[in-house]
Structure 1
Amino acid sequence: MEFGAKISVSLTGKGLAHVDKLHWDARHEGHDLQAQVEAYKKRYGYYPGVVIADTLYGSRDNRSYLERKHIRFSGKPLRRPPKSTPENKDEIKRLKAQRRKEYRERIPIEGKFGQGKYGYRLNNIRAKRADTSAAWINSIFLVMNLLILVRVFICLRNLAAKIAFWVTKKCMPREIPFARVCQFISNRDSYLAARI
């Protein structure tokens, strides 16, 4: 961006993005973690169980803050890795697989930034004032969220149509084969007209 904006974004499980912090200061972004966790608590009423973040956020201060709040950080521990012994071999393997899985869960948030940059020109905002740039950035994230909500609405509409079709199909009066045959034999023209 022209001003070099720093954007802190959180992503819900449904794919909705929240711009938690937007600033133009030349400072380390890792200090924004505590504010983002508090914004999560304010938004949902409770703290998250785990924070899946970039290694940039894995400072000692952030980790101690997360420990005080009983929140687990998904990154590598800061201490030296333990020696592998036959007793702890399975535990080390499990923790490594868990970190790998959680690291893959970060792909959607990185993809959200990619979608904003390449699909909506988030990295090419040409506003002259900081407040105008902030409005553009928030509008871009709003549009991306609206597209997700439109997809959800379309899926719900299709589901409602299928349910309505199923209900009307089940509730329709059933034809009795004998009555159909009798009607066919007695009045052939009216049967064909009703069939067409």
Structure 2
Amino acid sequence: IIGNLISQSSLSLLSKDEYRQLLVIHELYRQQAEMYKKKTHRVDHRIVSISQPHVRPIVRGKAKANVEFGSKVAISVVDGYALIEQLDWENYNEGITLRESIENYYNRFGFYPEAILADKIYRNRDNLAYCKSLGIRLSGPRLGRPSKMEDKTLEHVARQDASERNAVEGKFGEGKRKYGLGLIRARLQETSETVVALQFLILNLERKLRVLFLKFLHNTILYFDNRNLDCL
């Protein structure tokens, strides 16, 4: 019916938003027809919202929500500050972002990190070889079956790295609890990405404020201690 109306009329009668919705609906219909014909429930770049066609369903397998909708953010944490490494609406593999994150670190600070405390998904052979070529220690046990004679020191370092890596998960939890990172209401893709970036900016500013406050408090305590010593 819509095709007949288009052939008998002109698309110029539609507003910009209406024309955009028409294109989205055409693509949505194509995807649904493809899944119906192939008898599958999956299609690339699947549209789940006409008003927000950039949003993708991301299967997480969580007990509370098996599928989540929203942007996927990969971050790094340096000295307690969270840095956005990649923000995308597609369900990408985080392991492919490590090399770019390492080069971003070099561009920011002028040198490569001594060690990277990363999740298991980052520990593939390509990333391990790349880190080894730069003299970077990538945390975690070596690939393959663990040896029975594995050094206890290496095992202790691996546990310590895993414990320190919890700071990354803590940043996401802090952002969702205190700064509304999990309650973004922006509709446009560009606006949503801007809001996410602002949330991490505020999170880092709060971190900087706490560091400055602790330095001020420490210096104040030292001043009063020295004053008391002089009086004695």
Q: TM-score with structure 2 length normalisation?
A: 0.64
CA distance in 1, matches of 2:196, 2:139: 28
Query: 1:96, CA displacement in angstroms?
Result: 1.0
Partner residue in 2 for 1:43:
108
Answer yes or no: is 1:138 the counterpart of 2:197.
yes
CA distance in 2, matches of 1:9, 1:19: 4
**How far apart are the structure 2 equivalents of 1:162 and 1:52?**
35
- Secondary structure of the corresponding residue to residue 151 of structure 2: helix
Q: Which residue of 2 aligns with 1:34?
A: 99
Instruction: List runs of 5+ in structure 2 lacking aligned partners.
Output: 1-54, 56-68
2: CA distance, partners of 1:166 / 1:100: 39
**Structure 2 CA distance for partners of 1:170 and 1:57, relative to 1, 3 Å:** same
Residue 171 of structure 2: which of 112, 115, 123 is its match? 112
Name the stretch that deviates more: 34-43 or 60-69: 60-69
Counterpart-to-counterpart distance in 2, 1:168 and 1:72: 46
The residue correspondences of 1:1-196 to structure 2 (distance < 5 A) are 4-13=70-79, 15-84=80-149, 92-165=151-224
* 2: CA distance, partners of 1:155 / 1:50: 27
Q: Which protein has the larger Cα radius of gyration, Structure 1 or Structure 2?
A: 1
**Structure 1 residue 25, shift from structure 2 partner:** 2.4
Secondary structure of residue in 2 paired with 1:102: helix
Aligned residues: 165
How far apart are 1:34 and its partner, in Å?
0.6
Shift of 1:170: 6.5
Deviation at 1:156, TM superposition (A): 2.5
More helix by share: 1
Structure 1 residues not aligned, in runs of 5+: 85-90, 175-196
The structure showing larger relative contact order (alpha-carbon pairs under 8 Å, at least 6 residues apart) is: 1
Aligned partners of 1:159, 1:92: CA distance in 2, in Å? 41
Taking every aligned residue pair, what percent have the same amino acid on both sides?
36
Tell me how far apart the structure 1 counterparts of residues 198 and 171 of structure 2 sit (CA, whole Å): 14
> Do the aligned partners of residues 70 and 161 (structure 1) sit closer, same or farther apart at CA in structure 2, a change above 3 Å counting?
closer
- Residue 31 of structure 1, CA deviation: 0.4
Aligned-pair CA distance for 1:47: 0.8
Tell me by how many angstroms 1:26 deviates.
2.7
Instruction: State whether residues 6 and 29 of structure 1, in contact with CA within 8 Å, keep that contact through their aligned partners in structure 2.
Output: no
